[in-house]
Copies of this chain bind each other. A is one copy, B any other.
């Protein structure tokens, strides 16, 4: 589609075959998607059936981290060395063409293949928990009660090195500007999409006089 510049640093099973100009293999493109997206969809196999589960993800350096309960089946399977696929997708816009056929979406996605391992090092575990909390709400880790020994014991943290990975994105207008369809009396263009943080709802049990914290305030300011 000519709407992306491909740089190829990693190929193989994650090589973008359909519309290859949308493929990116440099770390910056992949990290941008991981860092902007909260949720990863993590795929793995169990008893011949693929499963795809949404999970909060955070990147630290060249690794992606997940966390969950020690009682979680997904964490047990992933931590047990099952081949995994981690996909993060950001929707940026709806692409309206003159024809139904050329309708599309502007998006950025990253697909990572690999195997997770359990994180045992106490400092790395704390760093990962800080990353999850600050991923959810930047700066929140500094405002809250830190994990107790019991809470740490109940938490599995997994990491996967970012190796075999690609990013794919589409941006720009519909592709029928140069076609015969451009002569039709039909509107074409992009409707932009973004995540809005509209308002805060204090917890019913919140003690009176505790103001909205700086971390949440910054999210609300993004509204504009």
The chain A residues found within 8 Å of chain B, CB to CB, are 13, 17-18, 38-39, 41-54, 56, 68-69, 71-73, 83-87, 89, 91, 93-94, 96-101, 103, 105, 107, 109, 111, 113, 129-130, 132-133, 136-137, 140-141, 143-148, 151, 155, 173-174, 177-178, 181-207, 210-213, 215-216, 219-220
Q: Which 10 pairs of residues, A with B, have the shortest CB-CB distance? A: A177-B205, A41-B41, A43-B52, A43-B43, A196-B196, A43-B50, A188-B203, A54-B89, A52-B87, A173-B203
Q: Report the minimal beta-carbon distance from A27 to chain B, rounded to whole angstroms.
A: 20
Copies in the complex: 2
Are A197 and B206 within 8 A (Cβ)?
no
When the two chains form the complex, which single residue of B39, B99, B178, B187 contacts A206, counting CB atoms closer than 8 Å?
Answer: B187
Selected A-B contacts with CB under 8 Å, 13 pairs: A41-B41, A41-B43, A42-B52, A43-B51, A51-B85, A94-B219, A96-B137, A145-B181, A173-B201, A183-B207, A187-B213, A191-B199, A191-B219
